Structure 1
């Protein structure tokens, strides 16, 4: 799909001719969209388990009977037979009372876990014998269980607080030990029971003391823990450790300013360290990249991903940390290795390059030659599975107006066979909104900002429509992609109701690599909101937009952007709903905030110019502020301080608190939150009553 130019844009011809065809089709019903009634418009795709050899892959699909079945499929003919072991055989897991994050060794002979006493344990699966590897765990000393800021910002939520890692030979465990005793406590009041209670979290806000961290190595056959040669008193961070195939332990270290990354090899016997990699940048380096280091087989070195040249490129290093050569150069972003064929000396990787809104599969030689795009067409290829010898790959691909399909493709990029398509038997019976991506020049003329627009059903370019803008806006967290969106969703409902729905991405979204991201250094939020204002002004100039009915909404960083839009950008955005919002970066955690802003002590002016409170006097529209009272990520303190400021300025706003809810408002409270947001859209954008079907008690259960 071609992208229309923003200046002098003519509405795509396909939208104009589509108006006459919609009348022959039907809209989705309330029950289908909000209560999951059957539509047969789409069907699930099967999943790929892997390959048994270069001409057979393992496919898992749901049968009409509802049974999940596993098949071995011939790549050329498509003929399938039931997989002999179901493709899912794994040894049974043992139940260990009181264990947290139970993780089996690669040879399945051991289980490692933590307990509530914050010590790390292993169990011999054959004998059932348990051994405590640490004994000093306490309320503030955590062995193998992550401190909050490491869980949220470095190890990631998928870790579920696990901070220990098995070696490939199953003989050792690397783990992190956290001392939180000097980390400030943030109290959260919980209104349960007659008197309520306080939930205290060790949460370091920008400029605060971080937990002290040690890297330990424990052997399963006993002996004392070996501590890596780092001074835990230093102001520093550690990334996820990595075990090499030849048994080396590589540890990522970073300074507090997060602009110097070092990787050390740790001597397993005495903990001494050897520097293997050293990278410095003028702004920051991301430590939470779990795909930074990819080892080749024993003795053949590794591939390190870095954005040091402004883009996500791959570099080949030997076992001693010496650079052999760059594997890729150019504007690759979101790069991730899919497979390494060491025999052929080829790396297969996924990245965005040809078009910043789409992913493709590429291959390159380890020596940096022969970079080739393997995927095809104007699609985003969002899943890959490469055969053992690289003669075939399976991809799932789509774009905004083409539902996902799964295909087998040969090494030259030619489709061998379509495996499955998400189109259901009734796909063509329904009205579907048209969506396109346009590029809007930034105010300084440096960037072409991507904007996705979903038009109403039966769109008439001579009418004026209200606009709902959904945003996030955080660093390297874009939302505008040329990929299929769910068919049956509230987006479909509001397209049927006559609303234009839009998403913006700013210069720091990843579409423009690290070069675009670097603009926000020490002023997180300023360029982003100015880019959004530019996109908002462009929208208001379109003849089919009601310029008085723009509503912007988002959560977390998107909530921050929404608050900034209604204050800093008050002349552009009249309505907004801000969920779980940061309102001043001094209230957020050290690692995330200081990565972009440095500390409040070092950058007071930056914190001032990016605070929502600085621009509260400009507020003049209508903002709804939404927050869960037990949000332990973005504390409700953010919203309360903003509310306090608005009240003192005699400003009118709305506030919705959700007792006991965390950063994501879930369950019945989540239903209520969505219900109230829809009511807001009907009242201020569509200017008509919310349909009675929403009010039916049984209807509220489904959406």
Structure 2
């Protein structure tokens, strides 16, 4: 097994070190032009380097953003031995003439003329991650001890805008995981909770009040400071049974007059629940181009009522322009790792010139885009009548009244999850398909709508990125992913499959990764990588290999294949992006867990098709909602799932975030929440189970796993458990946890003995 472990470790390390060139192309619009720049991966004598490229739309061509050799020389004052393809910088922003960046190991922000010159240090940073700078760069806003400060960058003068903020009642504060501050040397920096107007005259922000919110506590038994005593931390955390949950009141700030006014709705402060809270970078709140109106989607606590809210800047008032009520839950803001595009936006567009809204709603079986009269909330037209799923608005051309959007499930004979680009005229309703390739498309329009950047791929076709005209005609090829390094490490191409759900009628879709050295005359154990949350699907639709947020989109199946396992991912019923009735199967029954019964059906059908699938050796693993689903699968189908590894499992939704249980289960009661709690069915465990949780997990508190362990002990059940010191919610980032997962499957499913004390990092350092 030692050689198999070395192969698996090389794939694992490749997932965390760049091995696929140009897997993702991230464009950055150049201020004051129609162009964009991006970082392009290139091969170099030292491995993989970076070229910074500029697309010039006037020429419809790509050029280097700057002279890399000259820039490397200019950096010499600040950083010796800078290499042209390994520049020690992070570019923050680019305008027509100047580039703004930070230098590794140096404080502050620097600038450089794109045509050449010297590197200069800025007096004030324009792209500080701790600040929110106005679009014209004149003002920068930051917070200190819960209060808001505004710096005039032209005069160098700072003004304190609020004085009543505090740790318990902060302004512009996004939720920050407390664990990051305690266990990360470089904690992630969250954008401020405010949004500038396009004219840089105002910004909207909010103030949260955590005084009445329940608090959870963690004990850091191994402090990084190495102090003798453990460190206790507490943090606000609302749960479904709580009467008080986190909300925010919205304020409008005029930076010149320093007026700080509450936004009123029907004479009361405009209140937001967590889903509508915005920040400087997300699209939860949007402004019209003239800066006179802002708008957002607000749900009630239980996500049964969605409201399109318009905020008038002059009157500092809000009004509800339209409303949608759901019997179960509203859900159109999909997010997940199946596509290269992780987060969706709220699906609302306000058209001030015609006093209309375009809103993504689930009024019928499929999510659809509706044209709505913003004056009275009346629906004027269903722009995307099904049966297919509208996904995301991409661009609106007000001159032609044409909306560009992506949708899935419209074309027959292809994967119903693939996003394709379409255009629809608001007046005639005429629909045009723009995407030609059968693949997952991620189109991004230029600010003026004159062209779009399209990246498309499948799990078997590497990403290609083009600049296209609005009608879809390609203009310039930007990049194509190179997977040659990955193939050298033993990458095995996933194979999509289609089977039927438990009803014997509904098609469901998944992927399979065959084991290393596959021999169809042998039988192989199977590992099902599962996720149990109702907010996303789990099966990749685009080509994705590298980790996202410390997680492998493929669930580590490539490494498991090197060890001798078949790996599968499949999405059953009770998941989004198909129909409302399919998704509603999860309501009040989180134990549905993306259709565990459908996973069983899928594996049985695969075994009927392929003699090499061994149904006597089926394992399952997942993290977070997948950790919950892993245990639920073993308790619900104890004769089928023989081995399971559960990471960071939220084993009782009553103990998890209120926005989760409120949405998927409904108002709290002991009866409503009884069947979903894994501990109530601990007596059913028959297989081999490994529970792993981080002791500093402030997303799913460690008590979720500890209480399940107590129930298993009460039932005299054998199981294994690992409490990972200084472990956050995202345990998959720790090599030791991954190796222990491999060991568990190898020992109990492959029925071989793993190499003792195998060092993942020792092998990974050679990759």
TM-score bracket relative to the smaller structure: 0.7 to 0.9
Once the two structures are overlaid, the 10-residue window that deviates more, 350-359 or 641-650, is 350-359
Q: TM-score, normalised by structure 1?
A: 0.84
Measured in 2, the distance between the counterparts of 1:523 and 1:96 equals 50
CA contact (8 A) 2:466 2:474 kept: yes
The answer (yes or no) to whether the contact 2:174–2:193 under 8 Å persists in 1 is yes
Question: Which residue of 2 is the match for residue 658 of structure 1?
Answer: 724
Partners of 1:440 and 1:37 in 2: CA distance: 29
Give the Cα separation in 1 of the matches to 2:699 and 2:705: 13
**1:487-566 matched pairs, under 5 angstroms:** 491-526=557-592, 528-539=595-606, 541=608, 542-566=610-634
Shift of 1:617: 0.7
Q: Secondary structure of the equivalent of 1:439?
A: strand
Match of 1:403 in 2: 462
Contact residue 47 and residue 61 of structure 1 kept, 8 A: no
Q: Distance in 2 between matches of 1:294 and 1:526?
A: 34
**In structure 1, distance between residues paired with 2:59 and 2:153:** 43
Alignment of 1:106-125 (within 5 A): 106-115=135-144, 117-125=145-153
CA distance in 2 between counterparts of 1:455 and 1:394 reads: 34
Pairing partner for 1:71 from 45, 54, 59? 54
Q: Secondary structure of 1:651's match? A: coil
Q: Distance in 2 between matches of 1:387 and 1:218?
A: 26
Match of 1:180 among 210, 215, 228: 210
Which residue in the other structure is 1:225 paired with?
A: 261
Output the CA distance in 1 between the equivalents of 2:447 and 2:201: 31
2:322 corresponds in structure 1 to 277
Assess, with a 3 A threshold, how the Cα gap between structure 1 residues 507 and 575 changes in structure 2: closer, same or farther.
same
Q: Deviations over 1:364-418 (max 9, x none)?
A: 222352322222233222354569565x644222222222223455565565665
Distance 1:451 1:644, change over 3 A: same
Question: Unpaired runs of 5+ in structure 2?
Answer: 68-93, 101-108, 110-121, 181-186, 277-283, 334-343
How far has the Cα of 1:59 moved from its partner? 5.7
Q: 2:395 aligns with which of 339, 343, 362?
A: 339
Aligned twin of 1:291:
346
- The Cα shift of 1:227 comes to 3.9
Cα deviation for residue 135 of structure 1 reads: 1.6
Unaligned 5+ segments in structure 1 are: 1-26
CA distance in 2, matches of 1:586, 1:235: 22
SS of the residue aligned with 2:645? strand
1:61 aligns with 2:61: no
Q: Which residue of 1 aligns with 2:306?
A: 261
The question of whether the paired residues in 1 share the 8 Å contact of 2:531 and 2:623 is answered with yes
User: How far apart, in 2, do the equivalents of 1:236 and 1:333 lie?
Assistant: 26
Distance 1:277 1:553, change over 3 A: same
Instruction: Tell me how far 1:510 sits from its aligned partner.
Output: 2.0
Q: Following TM superposition, by how much is the alpha carbon of 1:621 offset from its aligned partner in structure 2, in angstroms? A: 0.2
Instruction: Identify the residue that residue 675 of structure 1 maps to in structure 2.
Output: 739
Map Cα deviations across residues 482-538 of structure 1 (whole Å, 9 max, x no partner): 432439995444334432110021223224133311111111223633333333443
Equivalent residue in structure 1 for 2:679, among 604, 613, 628:
613
Say whether the 8 Å CA contact 2:21–2:42 is kept in structure 1.
Answer: no
SS at match of 1:214: strand
Q: Which residue of 2 aligns with 1:459?
A: 518
Could you tell me which of 151, 166, 171 is aligned with 1:138?
166
Q: Does 1:447 align with 2:506?
A: yes
State the Cα distance separating 1:340 from its structure 2 match: 2.0
Call closer, same or farther: CA 1:313–1:524 in 2, change over 3 Å. same
Q: Is residue 365 from structure 1 mapped to residue 422 from structure 2 by the alignment?
A: no
3-state SS of 1:44 partner: coil
Structure 2: distance between partners of 1:663 and 1:101: 24
The aligned length equals: 666
Is the CA contact (8 Å cut-off) linking 1:357 and 1:481 kept in structure 2?
A: no
Evaluate the alpha carbon distance shift between residue 522 and residue 424 of structure 1 in structure 2; reply closer, same or farther with a 3 A threshold: closer
Which of the numbers 338, 343, 349 marks the counterpart of 2:405?
349
The one of 206, 219, 240 equivalent to 1:206 is 240
1:635 equivalent to 2:701? Answer yes
Deviations 1:570-615, CA, capped at 9 Å, x for gaps: 12211110000011111011112101111223xx333111111122
For residues 182-241 of structure 1, what are the alpha-carbon distances to aligned partners after superposition, in whole Å with 9 as ceiling and x for unaligned?
Answer: 111111112133331321111111121113432221221123423423656989667244
For residues 410-442 of structure 1, the C-alpha deviation after alignment (integer angstroms, 9 at most, x for no partner) is 565565665443245678878653432223322
Name the stretch that deviates more: 101-110 or 392-401.
392-401
Match of 1:583 among 651, 654, 663: 651
Q: Does 1:468 align with 2:561?
A: no
Confirm or deny: 8 A CA contact 2:7 2:489 kept in the other structure.
no
What residue number does 2:384 align with? 328
8 Å Cα contact 2:295/2:350 also seen in 1: no
- The equivalent of 1:11 in structure 2 is none
Taking the aligned partners of 1:360 and 1:411, their CA distance within structure 2 comes to 14
- Give TM-score scaled by structure 2 length: 0.77
Could you tell me how far apart the structure 2 residues matched to 1:294 and 1:258 are? 20
Structure 1's 159 and 375: CA in aligned 2 closer, same or farther, altered over 3 A? farther
| Separation of aligned partners in 2, 1:170 and 1:552 | 52
User: 1:687 Cα shift?
Assistant: 2.7
Q: Tell me by how many angstroms 1:64 deviates.
A: 4.9
Assess if the C-alpha contact under 8 Å between 1:360 and 1:375 holds in 2: yes
| 8 Å Cα contact 1:432-1:457 kept in structure 2 | no
Distance change >3 Å, CA 586–CA 88, structure 1 → 2: farther
SS at match of 1:582: coil
Q: 1 CA distance for matches of 2:389 and 2:6? A: 37
C-alpha distance in structure 1 between counterparts of 2:294 and 2:466, whole Å: 39
Q: Mean Cα displacement is larger for which, 467-476 or 57-66?
A: 57-66
Counterpart of 1:17 in structure 2 is none
Offset of residue 109 of structure 1 = 1.2
The answer (yes or no) to whether the contact 2:295–2:311 under 8 Å persists in 1 is: yes
Contact 2:22 2:479 in 1 (8 A): no
Give the conservation status (yes or no) of the 8 Å contact 2:391–2:419.
Answer: no
Aligned to 1:22: none
Is the contact made by 2:16 and 2:546 (CA closer than 8 Å) also made in structure 1?
A: no
Q: Distance in 2 between matches of 1:570 and 1:271?
A: 59
Equivalence map 1:139-154=2 (5 Å) = 139-146=167-174
Deviation at 1:86, TM superposition (A): 8.2
* 8 Å CA contact retained: 1:54, 1:388: no
Shift of 1:691: 5.4
Q: 1:374 to 1:693 in 2, by over 3 A?
A: farther
Shift of 1:313: 2.0
Kept in 2: contact 1:28–1:493 (CA 8 A): no
Specify the alignment match of 2:287 in structure 1.
Answer: 243
Q: Secondary structure at the match of 2:590?
A: coil
Q: Who is 1:12 aligned against?
A: none
Moved more, 199-208 or 347-356: 347-356
